[in-house]
Structure 1
């Protein structure tokens, strides 16, 4: 049988809803009362929620404002603390800088003292010792001047060694002060950066532009140093600077005392050496004067002996005439004839005269020999005296002229 095609075949199937339920009148009143009660409950709940919300909003706003004010106050206090510490460090830094300048002046004083000792005093003492080696003869002896000059040389060397060690200590103290300034500068720089950060934070408001919320995972409070540690660090930095300043001041006081003691010792030895020079020069002058007096007496005696020698020679020469006369008379009387050739008184007198003349001439010749020997000794003594006088003159020139002129240029002061 052929199927009947209608237009419903091509339409979708539609479900027909069931008829709405039917309620009773009591259910209707009950539902109205329930809806009314529910609305009232919701209204009361909404009023409560609104009131709580307003309270929470006011409370949160108050807490937020209080926290912000507290943070602002703490930032302000922190800024003041940093500024106070920064001021203290600045003052301490200025004190350290002033101490470095003062210590550098003391270092220059030590260097000046060392240079004066090395270039002036030590060279003068060495030259004096070298000049005194030019003494000759008996004057080249180890006298009090040599002893005191060597002591002065040792005193200068000891002063140089002591000042050299003190100079090293002063340089080390300057290095420590500069190291202190370096760490204080780093601390000041860090505190300056913190001041910029905190002042910028204090300036920021909740309505400021360029505010942002951090969405990262790293903590925003990476600080691991406590406030006590921060305060202790600043305190230790200031205390360390004060300690270095105190050490530098003690060192400067020590340098003052050392320079005064060194100068006093050098002046004392300087005057001791000069006194030794003075006494030795007086002794040398006294010895030279005695020698000059002796030399004058020797010259006088030489002249006198020369005259005596001439007189003795003339006396001996004069006796030759008397001897010739006596011999001639004896020769003439030897020609007497016969019995006239007798030993009469004349003959005896002539013979005695000749013998006496021979004896006297021998005595005169012996005396002349002694006088000539004495003259030789006197001339030798005169030459020795002249040599000794020349030696003393050379010594006086070295000690009084050369050495004392050099020592006049020696000068010790506090530098």
Structure 2
């Protein structure tokens, strides 16, 4: 018996379930009715849910189609707006590029004008001023040609400064035009990218492949720029380009007027300087001719004076014979003896002859001295005239040959 109890300890205890509940027949009928009513209610509710689901499906499908068509329509409108703005920007960009080319041409004209004025006109004017400093003597004077030459140099220098400032303005205008091109290119690039994106979006359908649903947390509409700001940005770029084009055209018109005025002023001053040179050359030639005539006359008078001095010397020499004759006669008569040594008419005549010869010789000597002095003055005058003629010749060489030859190489044109 103890062995059996020990074996029962080794087995686990098993719980015995309670007996099932017992219901009455009425409860059974009530339960059946309740189950039938619940089933009918659930069927009715299911029918209403199915009908509502079909209605919601139809409504959602219709709204989805409407929203898609509306989005597609707005995408098409956006694409048209982008294409229109892109075409407007491209047209304006072409105008800007044309204006830059025109301005570059005008800048080349300004550079040509500056180069011509600096290397040609100003250099010629400076050389003429320096050459005229090589005039000699009295011809080294401040005449009208000098005044007009210095005025021409000032006009050329002023024109150079004005053209240089205008060239700087043109450079700045080209820089502003290129700046507008930069912003328009950026706008075109952005619009090109947006056009690709929206064109791709427009081609997508709800049945397209490679569609995906975003499961991230960042918003898919990060845009914070309004449509008015977007339109204003493009419009401001176009308006800025139009404004710069208008400024460039006004600058080109100013350059045309400036070059025309500068060339006209320089031509007028050049004509004035050339006329001053012409008048001065004529005056110098006239004075040189007068000096040459005077030189010929002075040379002729010097020759005549030389011959007169020769005649005076010859006359004085001849009078020495008469004087010797009279002195010899007086000496011989001084040998008369006694009472024969009287002052007779012969004696008186010889004494008067000697006195007259002395007076005549003195007069001839004085006349010869005056003639010699006059000859010296004539020769001095002749030398001075020759120097003056050389001065005038040098002046004519400078003005007529050197300066006028240089000035013929100056060419003022509209560039």
1:247 alignment partner in structure 2? 247
Show the 5 A alignment for 1:13-412.
14-15=16-17, 17-18=19-20, 21-23=23-25, 28=29, 42-412=42-412
Q: Structure 1: any 5+ residue segments left out of the alignment?
A: none
TM-score of the superposed pair, with normalisation by structure 2: 0.92
Deviations 1:329-363 (Å, cap 9, x if unpaired)? 33333334444443333333222222222222221
Partner Cα distance (2:162, 2:411) in 1: 19
Partner Cα distance (1:16, 1:175) in 2: 103
Q: What is the CA-CA distance between 1:221 and the residue it aligns to? A: 0.2
Partner Cα distance (1:4, 1:341) in 2: 239
TM-score of the superposed pair, with normalisation by structure 1: 0.92
Partner Cα distance (2:89, 2:12) in 1: 99
Partner Cα distance (1:3, 1:341) in 2: 239
RMSD after superposition: 2.5
- Residue range with higher mean Cα deviation, 353-362 or 209-218: 353-362
Partner Cα distance (2:103, 2:338) in 1: 131
Q: What is the CA-CA distance between 1:17 and the residue it aligns to? A: 3.9
Deviations 1:212-264 (Å, cap 9, x if unpaired)? 10011000000000101101111111111111111111111111111112212
Deviations 1:7-56 (Å, cap 9, x if unpaired)? 9x9995554644753425x985x877776666655555444333332222
Partner Cα distance (1:355, 1:21) in 2: 212
Distance 1:319 1:57, change over 3 A: same
**SS of the residue aligned with 1:342?**
coil
Partner Cα distance (1:83, 1:146) in 2: 68
Distance 1:19 1:31, change over 3 A: closer
**SS of the residue aligned with 1:87?**
helix
Q: Structure 2: any 5+ residue segments left out of the alignment?
A: none
Deviations 1:269-305 (Å, cap 9, x if unpaired)? 2111111111111111111111111111001100111
Distance 1:10 1:126, change over 3 A: closer
Partner Cα distance (1:331, 1:27) in 2: 221
Deviations 1:128-179 (Å, cap 9, x if unpaired)? 1111111111111111122111111111111111112112111111111111
Partner Cα distance (1:182, 1:222) in 2: 26
Q: What is the CA-CA distance between 1:4 and the residue it aligns to? A: 9.6
Partner Cα distance (1:295, 1:159) in 2: 48
Partner Cα distance (2:13, 2:146) in 1: 149
Partner Cα distance (2:3, 2:364) in 1: 214
- Residue range with higher mean Cα deviation, 41-50 or 229-238: 41-50
Q: What is the CA-CA distance between 1:72 and the residue it aligns to? A: 0.7
Partner Cα distance (2:111, 2:145) in 1: 29
Deviations 1:178-226 (Å, cap 9, x if unpaired)? 1111111111111111011101111111111111100110000000001
Q: What is the CA-CA distance between 1:60 and the residue it aligns to? A: 1.2
Partner Cα distance (2:325, 2:287) in 1: 56
Distance 1:19 1:39, change over 3 A: closer
